[in-house]
Amino acid sequence: MRRKVTLKQIAKELDVSISTVSKSLRDSPEISEDTRQKVQAFAKLYNYKPNNIALSLKNKKTKTICIIIPEIIHHFFTTVISGVEHVANEKGYNVIVCLSDESFDKEVINMEMLANGSIDGFIMSLSKETQLKKDYHHITEVINQGMPVVMFDRVTNDILCDKVIIDDFLAAYNATQYLIDKGFRKIGLISTVDYVSVGKHRTDGYCKALQSNEIPVDDKMILKIEDTNDFEKEIEQLFQTTDLDAVFAVNEIFAVTAIKIARKIGKKIPDDLSIIGFTDGIISKYSSPSITTVSQNGVKMGEKAAKMLIEKLEIEDDDFEEQYKTEVIETELIERESTK
């Protein structure tokens, strides 16, 4: 059976990145003439068909939308999917889900694969690697060819499109202020590395709350986790090199792991250490103790994103005017057993 050659295979064969192949096929001036010619010749030889979105868009509606999420471990993303499904089905649209697994290449591949007329539009949250690289050419490409994209949660200012976010800064500020109001002064932060946009905003909110209360920000009390597969040791080190009375963690897996490590080194929750998480998922609800948390309202985010996308899809050509909105979804603090 003769198979269709993929972007990935071309990249591997020519020993260049997927992004380079993708840009070369689109005659991007970012790529050297030599590389462009090489990629294009190879693609032609092996019968690679670049997508022709503009062609398919006008005549064919698939009534299908795609949501691209970075991963499926955090319950938050599954709640967003539920919200998207809810509104989409009500309006007669199917939903397909793709995982980027936090990989730039997988994000590019998924978008290329589906933007060929298989779907009408994208709802997406950026992968970590995409945020690190700041390479959004695949998204620009899709938008330029007339396919609407709505970003949620992990978004970027570098792309003009509809967005659904929470005010991560404010939510983190409020959570930190809550701990300060309870009388805590030695408040640690377990966050992500700064290139993850939401992690950065939450870190900023935490710092601002401390500063507003004239509590100095101590870098030793701030842990920024990069590798989410192996961070238990880092948390243990944080707890052993500092004398914290409270912790704000920017997701529920960090929060529940902090509880586990605190227990391991003999600290009682919440008696010795109060912990606030982020995301009101099933872990926060069922963990022992249950976790006080900032609720992100993922279902509402998903519903809103689907509404915005479908609105764009169903607009008549004549009414069309390029206008982008950013919707901010309200968050709330849910008090449970992990804070005293």
Q: What is the binding site for its own copies (CB under 8 A)?
A: 1-4, 6, 8-9, 58-64, 66, 72-73, 78, 81-82, 85, 89, 92, 94-99, 101, 106, 109-110, 113-114, 118, 256, 282-283, 286-290, 316-317
Residue nearer to its own copies on the CB measure, 8 or 38: 8
Shortest Å distance, C-beta 203 to its own copies: 25
Decide if 41 contacts 65 (C-beta within 8 A). no
- Considering beta carbons, is residue 89 or 212 the nearer one to its own copies? 89
Q: Which residues contact 169 (CB under 8 A, 6 or more apart)?
A: 201, 202, 204, 205, 208
CA distance 14 to 9: 9
Nearest alpha carbon to residue 8 among 55, 61, 52, 46:
46
Pick 221 or 256: Cβ nearer its own copies = 256
Contacts of 45 (CB under 8 A, 6+ apart): none
Minimum gap (Å) between residue 287 Cβ and its own copies = 4
In the complex with its own copies, which residue's Cβ is closer, 59 or 241? 59
Q: Which is nearer to its own copies, 23 or 106 (CB)?
A: 106
| Beta carbon of residue 14, minimum distance to its own copies (angstroms, whole number) | 16
Residue with tokens 């695949």: 138
**Owner of token pair 């967003």:** 80
Q: How far is CA 111 from CA 22, 102, 134, 196, 308, in A?
A: 11, 14, 16, 21, 19
Closer residue to its own copies (CB): 196 or 256 = 256
Q: In terms of CB distance, is 26 or 61 closer to its own copies? A: 61
Could you tell me if 156 and 131 are in contact, meaning their C-beta atoms sit under 8 angstroms apart?
A: yes
99-135 CB burial, b ≥16 within 10 A, e <16: bbebbbbbbbbbbbebbebebbbbbbbbbbbbbeeeb
Q: How far is the CB of 316 from its own copies (least distance, A)?
A: 7
Q: Which parts of 179-322 are beta strand (E)?
A: 187-192, 222-225, 246-249, 274-278, 292-295
Amino acid at 203: T
Q: How far is the CB of 96 from its own copies (least distance, A)?
A: 5
Q: Rounded distance, CA 8 to CA 18, Å?
A: 6
Instruction: Specify which residues 249 forms β-bridges with.
Output: 190
**Residue 158 Cβ vs its own copies, minimum distance, rounded to whole Å:** 25
Nearer to its own copies by Cβ, of 73 and 160: the residue is 73
Least distance (Å) between residue 41 CB and its own copies: 21
Residue 238 tokens, joined: 């944080």
Least CB distance to its own copies at residue 71 (A)? 9
